[in-house]
Amino acid sequence: MAAAPASSNLQVVGGGAKAAAQESPCDDCAIRETSVCEVLDPPQLARMRAIATILRLEPGATLFQESDPAEHLCNVVEGAVKLYKLLPDGRRQITGFLFPGDFLGVALNKSYAYSAEAMTNVRLCRFSRNKLEGLLTELPNLERRLLEVAGNELVAAQDQMLLLGRKTARERLASFLLMVSRRAAARGRPASPVDLPMSRSDIGDYLGLTTETVSRTFTQLKKQGTIGLPSQSKVDILKRAELEEIAEAG
């Protein structure tokens, strides 16, 4: 894992049993029923807690970089994280946005295939890959849940390929807004307004569009009454059926 910067953007609070005594990663956990831990009974959860470490990142802090040794896996507890890859010419392709309840760090090889950066203040539960793999042989329900997470990542990658390859700017943005809305609803949060902690530039890097095109498309959808823009970071979905029709046109 990349070393924490001198400004101490990355804070480690305890580890194992000591962390549980100082600040338990499980007590009053807001994502307990939507994270990988949802399949664990209380004794199994206690074993997960024993290998957990709490991390806090400030906006812009790097959790890990592409090609770093894949030594840890993390649960997002609070905040939002963006995943990205750097292309050979220096351009950036954002491959995903993660929110509370999402799991990251699953790697098929010994190094991470992407970089992860905090978009907001972020709190994570971090697990040593070696220790977690040791638990999987004893907790097959957790192993199945992690395989499900890996499968969901594959589906998300396929969906993004469709966005980038077949859809217009309007269709891409409509699909993106619906995706974020559905993910929020699946985790018990309001489906509208949609929270967008990422910048217009980040959205463009995810959708394969320029920042100007993203801003112009937001304005077009607002003018036609499909969405409202109460702030830079929130979008009201005013006509969901119409937005779905736009998204599915591609």
At 50 the three-state DSSP class reads helix
**What torsion, rounded to 10 degrees, do the Cα atoms 100, 101, 104, 106 define?**
180
Topology (CATH) of 10-159: Jelly Rolls (2.60.120)
The answer for residues whose C-beta is within 8 angstroms of residue 185's C-beta and 6 or more apart is: 191
pLDDT attached to residue 25: 55
- Just give the CATH number of 167-248: 1.10.10.10
- How far out from the chain centre does Cα 239 lie? 26
* Domain ranges across the chain: 10-159, 167-248
**Lowest model confidence (mean pLDDT) among 76-80, 116-120, 142-146, 237-241:** 142-146
CB 69 within 8 A of CB 110: yes
pLDDT tens profile 84-134: 998 888 888 999 999 998 888 877 778 998 999 999 999 999 999 999 888
Q: Chain-wide mean pLDDT for the chain? A: 84
Going by their DSSP bridges, the two strands 10-13 and 115-118 should be labelled as unpaired
